[in-house]
Amino acid sequence: MIPVQGFAGHQVAVLGLGRSGLSAARALREGGATAVCWDDNPKAREAAEAEGFETRELTRDGAFDEIACLIVSPGIPHLYPTPNPVIAKAWAAGVPVDNDIGLFFRSLATREWDEFDTAPRVIAVTGSNGKSTTSALIHHILSTTDRHSQLAGNIGRGVLDIDPPGDGDVVVLELSSYQTDLARALTPDVAVFTNLSPDHLDRHAGLGGYFAAKRRLFAEGGPDRAVIGVDENEGLYIANQLSEGPGDDRVIRVSSGQKLTGPGWHVYARKGFLTEWRKGKQVGSIDLREIKGLPGAHNHQNACAAYAATRALGVAPRQIEAAMTSFAGLPHRSQIIAEKNGVTFVNDSKATNVDSALKALQAFKNIRWICGGLQKEGGLDALAPGFDHVRKAYVIGREADGFAVQLTGVEAEACGTMEVAVARAAAEAEPGDVVLLAPAAASFDQYDSFEKRGEDFAARVQAALAQL
């Protein structure tokens, strides 16, 4: 655990008692503060009380008397579409509002670091798509090359639950826009921006607000090195804002599909090959085509970002290549779960928006596509460039009929449930086909999470294969 610094002897309010909220309360107590907790869910309050925490209704008058700070869980809106009433109370009382990420960065360094030969480093990864895979791949590369690493944040453990890092250790954080938007301290050593596509627009009042939340990791933090995906204008903008000139190698530009050259530091992937280009010459290359854990151009972009981040810490290209070869990928992200009779079954349940689903469609051919769910804003037209890889779509979700009619130019069958969709796709698949779950939608109309949806897909695949 990382004991929270700076609040010893003070009361700190904690709003939201899920994983990050309870973790923050424990870390505050470990650092000598008194955590005053609240959650609208009575069971969550009971769990906090069972650990000895005081619970207090934070919207009542005087609730913020003697409160030094309010810590907010990431799922709670603080500004858009409307401020949470507790946060509004904190504002009115002049109480600073922060989250567990802010507490982490203000509390990580200790006097013990003065005795270390090499100070611990933090790599923070944000972006719309690929940040989980990129974070996990960075962690895998470091662990494989005998550099002690911990993975936390939006993936793995809560940021305050990790062990205090030792001499030369690395902490790899995946950070969502919900986490970067509110944190009062953001000071990674290496910051990574994968890409940007529309998502969480209601929470951030549009694409501009969503991008602004991501950009805070770079604008507020001032990382020593920034790894920036430049395949969208937003990435180009961040890279330009951070760089002092074409040869400034504090900024490592990353691309999937573009050849990047020039006097700076670049890492790009084209036609399945990763290339590192620095100071006007090629200094590294990896053939990504046979790495099963990283299929498709979107994963090649993730590989470039992870390569750049670990190179920034001094890991050698050949070490990175060997580590990538042993990377198995993450569950629910282009995960091959079965192969039978020449048909491959791929679980990409994490493809919850149109952009990530398109990348999945472009990564495979001859696709029997299982899609659908709780549709997000913006429609499905942006999926069209991937339709030539689709043999047929099998649509799930409560609004399967409405989703199916939007797939213009694709044969689509409204199946409703995962059971029916998998059974139909498996029965109709031919050798060389890929049965791909890439929903292009949220899961919450039928499942508690994308993980549950992916697990159901895997179970239905096994059941269908048993009948073949």
pLDDT of residue 457: 98
Residues near 370 by Cβ (< 8 Å), separated by ≥ 6?
A: 393, 394, 395, 396, 418, 421, 422, 425, 435, 436, 437, 438, 439, 457
Fold of 335-467: Protein-Tyrosine Phosphatase; Chain A (3.90.190)
Residue extent(s) of CATH 3.90.190.20 domains in the chain: 335-467
What pLDDT, in 10s, does the model give residues 88-103?
A: 999 999 999 999 999 9
Which residue positions form the known binding site for ATP?
Answer: 127-133
What pLDDT, in 10s, does the model give residues 341-387?
A: 999 999 999 999 998 999 999 999 999 999 999 998 889 999 999 99
Angle 295-296-301 (CA atoms, 0-180°, nearest 5)? 100
Across 198-202, average pLDDT = 85
Beta carbons of 346 and 367 less than 8 angstroms apart: no
What DSSP designation does 214 have? H
Fold of 11-98: Rossmann fold (3.40.50)
pLDDT of 468 over the 80 cut: no
Rounded to two decimals, what is the model's pTM?
0.88
pLDDT of residue 131: 94
* Average pLDDT in the chain: 95
Length of the chain: 468
Domain 108-325 has CATH 3.30.70.20: no
Angle 130-135-139 (CA atoms, 0-180°, nearest 5)? 150
pLDDT of residue 92: 96
What's the rounded Cα separation, in Å, for the pair 468 and 461? Answer: 11
What pLDDT, in 10s, does the model give residues 105-129?
A: 999 999 999 999 999 999 999 999 8
Residue extent(s) of CATH 3.40.50.720 domains in the chain: 11-98
Across 170-179, average pLDDT = 97
- Which residue is it, tokens 């870390």? 27
Across 136-164, average pLDDT = 95
pLDDT of residue 205: 93
Across 234-260, average pLDDT = 95
Residue extent(s) of CATH 3.40.1190.10 domains in the chain: 108-325
What pLDDT, in 10s, does the model give residues 385-413?
A: 999 999 999 999 999 999 999 999 999 99
pLDDT of 328 over the 90 cut: no
Among 104, 118, 83, which Cα is nearest to 23's?
104
Which residue positions form the known binding site?
Answer: 127-133
